[in-house]
Amino acid sequence: MERTCLAVILAAGDSTRMKSSKSKVLHPVANRPMIAHVVDAVAKSDISAVALVLGRDAEEVAKAAQVGSVKIETYLQKERLGTGHAVLAAREAIARGYDDIIVTYGDVALQTEGPLKAARQGLAEGSDVVVIGFHTDRPTGYGRLLVKDGELIAIREERDASDAERAVKWCNSGLMAINGRKALDLLSRIGNANAKGEYYLTDLVEIARSVGGRVTAVDAPEIEMTGCNNRAELAVIERFWQERRRHEMMIAGVTMIAPETVFLSYDTVIGQDALIEPNVVFGPGATIDSGAIIHAFSHIEGAHVSAGATVGPFARLRPGADLANGSKVGNFCEVKNGKIGEGAKVNHLTYIGDATVGAGTNIGAGTITCNYDGVNKHETLIGANAFIGSNSSLVAPVSIGDNAYIASGSVITADVPADALALGRARQELKPDRATLLRERALAIKAAKKPKA
């Protein structure tokens, strides 16, 4: 749209029902604060700027709302006197004369740009107020949208509704769009002659009609309008978000054997023909390229898995893990800030931290890169086509050359040149019949501990 638009996001609530030490809009959905999801949605609706109305935890909420290049101005609502009062906290921004004003809420984390654009389109077509509603089979508790001849004539709260009005299943979401040229005049007409003495934004419907304005409504999917007041509702929003994103990925060509057991982050990227087995969790910053396989019970965060690579089962990739094409990180392995070269294998019970593993190298079971000295982290460099025997400890900083061979059970504390064999273990000794003596002594000690009859 060529029309200018200000999005007013209301995020000043005290969040008392959340029973939390922080504002509810800071609670994450898909590892991202709810307020960031909302800002992302309004940004995609072609807005010009955001006016963020804050109360509790104002600085933290403002910081969490910083998404991309969206221009955000913050305003403090010092008193909680209703939604109409909250919108007018951003009076300075509204007064600049935007064509459109969108009002939304910081806890409606599932909203998308579609209904917001539809509401703006309603303004472009001549409405002064456009309310965003949703249809539901469970309308109890919601204000009903009453429409006549294509116009919205009222939002009737349930306590004030007749039996016929209570049967209406089109409900008020609380989101709306307002003609920016008339917004301040309309908002200033909202009164507080009600039981709570508060200023309700929903009064704009009758106010706009009373001065000859046109009021309409647009529909949104019920799920998108889901708000959050407590931890149970937060879990519902998380479930809805995960279901939606999994579906999008599977339609785009990702295979999920048991999608309901896979948990994604807001920024998870998975390429076409990748296979995700059951019970996989993606933290922030995970990118899985086309054709990769993530086996069951793996956890991936801040990591990149290239085409043809395999992970797990029961593997953990931490931030900085980067697996090249055709590489493998197997069961009960952990990689942190480690680059695994093309075709390299880290198969069993192994920790690779602050390390580079060259192409074609094999890391034996139980290998550890000892990267931390109690104060600082150090790097391990392993060349191409090397063989690291099982139960080896590579004490960083250390370098293993191309084609080198590390004998099983070694503790490597010095660099190993290319093509060399390194052994770092004590020589094996044999003591004939010593096992029998040790066993007899142990049995005697055990017998001496038994109480006498």
Q: Which of 293, 81, 64, 330 is nearest to 190 (CA)?
A: 81
**pLDDT confidence of residue 1:** 58
Tokens 């982290």, residue located: 377
Q: Which residues of 102-132 are buried (b: 16+ CB within 10 A; e: fewer)?
A: bbbbbbbbbbbbebbbbbbbbbeeebbbbbb
Q: Which of 206, 146, 205, 144 is nearest to 176 (CA)?
A: 205
Terminus-to-terminus CA distance in the chain, angstroms? 95
Report the phi/psi class of residue 370: left, alpha or beta, with left for phi > 0 and alpha for psi in -120 to 50: beta
Cα 396 vs. chain centroid, distance in angstroms? Answer: 34
Give the span between the Cα atoms of 227 and 38, in whole angstroms.
Answer: 11
Average of per-residue pLDDT values in the chain:
95
Q: By the 8 A CB rule, do 38 and 111 touch?
A: yes
Catalytic one of 37, 135, 304, 348: 348
**H or E element, residue 206:** helix 204-210
Q: How many CA atoms lie within 13 A of 267 on its CB side?
A: 16
Give the span between the Cα atoms of 330 and 308, in whole angstroms.
Answer: 14
Domains (range + CATH), the chain = 5-225 (3.90.550.10), 245-422 (2.160.10.10)
DSSP string, 76-127: E--S---HHHHHHTTHHHHTT--SEEEEEETT-TT--HHHHHHHHHHHHTT-
The answer for residues whose C-beta is within 8 angstroms of residue 211's C-beta and 6 or more apart is 186, 189
**pLDDT confidence of residue 68:** 84
Give the span between the Cα atoms of 286 and 283, in whole angstroms.
Answer: 7
Is 348 among the residues known to form the active site? yes
**pLDDT confidence of residue 453:** 67
Give the span between the Cα atoms of 420 and 416, in whole angstroms.
Answer: 7
Q: Tens-of-pLDDT digits for all 453 residues of the chain?
A: 589 999 999 999 888 899 999 999 999 999 999 999 999 999 999 999 999 999 999 999 999 999 988 899 999 998 889 999 999 999 999 999 999 999 999 999 999 999 999 999 999 999 999 999 999 999 998 999 999 999 999 999 888 889 999 999 999 999 999 999 999 999 999 999 888 889 999 999 999 999 999 999 999 999 999 999 999 999 999 999 999 999 999 999 999 999 999 999 999 999 999 999 999 999 999 999 999 999 999 999 999 999 999 999 999 999 999 999 999 999 999 999 999 999 999 999 999 999 999 999 999 999 999 999 999 999 999 999 999 999 999 999 999 999 999 999 999 999 999 999 999 988 888 999 999 999 999 999 999 988 876
Q: Which of 188, 187, 178, 20 is nearest to 107 (CA)?
A: 20
Amino acid found at 49: A
DSSP 364: P
DSSP 160: G
pLDDT digits (tens, 9 = 90+) for 304-329: 999 999 999 999 999 999 999 999 99
**pLDDT confidence of residue 195:** 82
